[in-house]
Amino acid sequence: MTRPRGVVVVTGSELVRGERTDRNGPFLAGELLRLGIEPARIQIVGDDPAELEAALREGLGADLCAVSGGLGPTHDDRTVELLARATGRELAVGAALEAEIEAVSRRVAERLRRPYADFAEGVRKQATLPAGAEVVGIAGTAPALVLEAEDTVFVVLPGPPSELRRLWPQALETSPVRAVLARAHEPERRVLRFYGASESAVARALAEAGGEAPGLAATVCARDFEIHVDLVFEAEASSAADRLGTGLRKRLGEYLFAEDERAVEELVLAACLKRGLSLATAESCTGGLVAARLTSVPGSSDVFRGGVVAYADDVKRAELGVSEELLARHGAVSAEVAAAMAAGARARLDADVAVAVTGIAGPGGGTPEKPVGLVYLHAEGTDGSASRELNLPGDRSAIRGRATAAALHVVRTLLAQS
């Protein structure tokens, strides 16, 4: 059974210029896949009318086209106008919609102490929709809509990610979208996540295990030393997926750390919670990024005690108890100081487990003996410790990000051994 095809069109010149990162395209593509619609592409276009109209016309070749952005009141918000042109629909003002947007705009005008006349043109513009469009909700003054044209259903949503995500479920409840979903069937999906293995090693193991098969697609994604293998397959290819998963476990079992999509910080917190352990961090070059990832998880307060960002040597001495003699003999970027930082964090924050990071993130500060990218990690618990020395490539941001991920994996490894 062939799944319906979906495309995503994201508009906004700020995205094309690189001033902002697109968050809507990946979200919508993931939602399409979850719902059983095959995402064919994500297309990002600016506010140029010809470019946007061409993208919308291309969307007519899909079963469902999800569009984000360009629904505001200003001259460069052209999505609705160009959608009407691409689908050959007349534009008309919706009286009820105009009244609803006007009410919102009058409240804004009053709050800003501006005359409503400043808003009237924008209100009429946003209340003007293609014939046959169904309004599914309003974000501020921007209406989200669904339009069925030829054999394609367009779902048009506001650009701000929070507003888009709030209105997306309402669009799914409309009759045109439900008709597409009735023809959809969600594929099965499995994920295997490896740490410490190279991308080429995973690709080789994938090929040796038999590789893809009819109805089974395997993708390999590298991210901060982790390699994620996604197996997406139809029901009739489940045995092939089993064979591929078994082959990967056999060849790379020592590097396999998860078969679900929980981030490593979630795994660390869950392991601590299961053992009744508390956790703390001591960070230098990562500047609190390890603690930030841990505290991004809801419920982390059940485990995480706190962190010390000890950037300067005198802070390492005063807050973590790292001795002057140790710093003088080995330097702040050393395995010995990383171990002392972890021990200091455990004592200072009364934690069962602590992880420490110290390194040279660059671009300056490196020497031939200790180059930029050199990072030492140390995790200490009630039953032992684990440490790593890394030489990380990339710029300052990449080094800090990779060191953060590696620190979390050092803790995970320690907890797995206890």
At 1 the pLDDT is 57
At 75 the pLDDT is 86
Taking only the tens place, the pLDDT of each residue in 131-187 is 999 999 999 999 999 999 989 999 999 999 999 999 999 999 999 999 999 999 888
As a CATH number, domain 5-182 is: 3.40.980.10
Q: Nearest 10 degrees: CA dihedral of 260, 261, 262, 263?
A: 130
Q: Which of 328, 407, 349, 343 is CA-nearest to residue 381? A: 343
* Structure tokens belonging to residue 12: 């906004």
Which fold does the domain 264-417 belong to in CATH? Maf protein (3.90.950)
Residue 30 CB neighbour total at 10 angstroms: 11
In contact, 278 and 346? CB cutoff 8 Å: no
Domain coordinates in residue numbering, the chain: 5-182, 188-258, 264-417
Taking only the tens place, the pLDDT of each residue in 8-22 is 999 999 999 999 999
Instruction: Calculate the average pLDDT of the chain.
Output: 95
Single-letter residue type at 217 = A
At 3 the pLDDT is 86
User: Is the pLDDT score of 224 beyond 80?
Assistant: no
**The domain made up of 188-258 is a member of CATH 3.60.20.10:** no
